[in-house]
Structure 1
Amino acid sequence: MINMKKGDAPVSLTKTAGVTARMTWSSHTDYDLYAIVYRTNGDVEYVATFGARGVPAQMSTADGAVKHLGDVGRGAQGIAEETIEIMLNDSIRAVVPVAYSAQSNGTGSFYQYRVTLEIDNGVAGDKVVIAAENANNDHKVYSCVPGMIENAQDSVLIHALEQYSGRGSEKRPTVRVRRSGLLRKGTETIEVTMDEGPRNDYK
């Protein structure tokens, strides 16, 4: 198991047929996991159990490559977990898991509720954890992007981002590619920007 925190160099995992992203938190609250799927052609899909302005709830991508395994609500004392399964085909450039604190929860922080992201590549047995020890403790921050799964040519790269929305913001992040240098010889960076996407529906 590899533990990551913001500022660490990306971790390379063996590319397998399937990658799993799991988010865990204290079951005393009702957080949600959803994913932003960034395609190689620049298209974006959201896989989420709830909608946003102009974006319906969608449990899987149109091609079925990225699937949410279902919403888990507030429950008995213990750990809650939501899972997204990812089949990395050539059309997927990156998948960005997002932890969201539903508006109906009231206040509470990602640190307080021990929000942790685990990413594993299944049969290869590799696991990356971006844990809650370094999470934001602001009780009015509702969205967190712990990390990003990049579909590289020969491997799966895990980036520890630990990016947070602004206080009180209900807007989703956006994902795009930033290019630098000359067109043919330049470099491309996948960039996550908080608070630029559609506003989450009330839940």
Structure 2
Amino acid sequence: MINMKKGDAPVALRKTAGVTARMTWSSHTDYDLLAMVLRTNGDVEYVATFGARGVPARLSTADGAVKHLGDVGREAQGVAEETIEVTLNESIRAVVPVAYSAQSNGTGSFYRYRVTLEIDNGVAGDMVVIAAENANNDDRVYSCVPGMIENAQDAVIIHALEQYSRRGSENRPTVQLRRSGLLRKGAEAIEVTMDEGPRNSYK
């Protein structure tokens, strides 16, 4: 197992047929996992059990390569989890898991409810964990991007981002390819920006 936190260098995992992104949290609240899927042509698809303004709920991408395994609700005790399965193909540039808790759920921070992202390529010892010990403790922050899965040519690159929405914002983040003169010719940076996506319509 590989533990990561914001500021760590990206980790390269062996490339396998499938990658699992699993988000866990205390089951005393009702978080939701969604994913932004960035295509190599710059297009973006959302995979989520709930919609946003102008964006319907979809449990998988159009090609079925990224699938949400279903919503879980609030439970009396224990740890809740939601899972997204990724079958990497050449059209996928990156997958960005997002944890979201609607304002109507009441107060409670990502730190307090132990929100943790696990990324697993199915190879023993390769699982990456971005743990709750490093999470934001603000009760009025509702969206978090713990990390990103980058589909490189010969590896799966995991980035620990730990980006958070503004206080009170229920807008989704966005992801895009951005060219930079600082990068080698033909290279593109992947940029995640909080709060610039559509407002979640769930709950």
Both structures adopt the same fold (TM-score exceeding 0.5): yes
1:45-92 residue CA offsets vs partner (Å, 9 max, x unmatched):
000000000000000000000000000000021000000000010000
SS of 2:158's partner is strand
The aligned residue for residue 74 of structure 1 is 74
Gaps of 5+ in 1: none
Matched, 1:58 2:58: yes
Amino acid at match of 2:145: V
RMSD of Structure 2 on Structure 1 (CA): 1.4
The aligned residue for residue 42 of structure 1 is 42
Shift of the 77–182 alpha-carbon distance from structure 1 to 2, 3 Å rule, reads closer
The aligned residue for residue 120 of structure 1 is 120
**Structure 1 runs of 4+ off > 4 angstroms?**
none
Matched, 1:146 2:146: yes
1:110-146 residue CA offsets vs partner (Å, 9 max, x unmatched):
0000000000001455100000001000000000000
Could you tell me the percent identity over the aligned residues?
Answer: 88
Gaps of 5+ in 2: none
CA–CA distance in structure 1, aligned partners of residues 188 and 95 of structure 2:
16
Shift of the 183–102 alpha-carbon distance from structure 1 to 2, 3 Å rule, reads closer
Amino acid at match of 1:131: A
SS of 2:188's partner is strand
Say if 1:150 and 1:157, in contact at 8 Å, map to a contact too: yes
The aligned residue for residue 197 of structure 2 is 197
1:183 CA displacement: 8.9
TM-score under structure 1 length normalisation: 0.97
Say if 2:103 and 2:168, in contact at 8 Å, map to a contact too: no
Number of aligned positions between the proteins:
203
TM-score under structure 2 length normalisation: 0.97
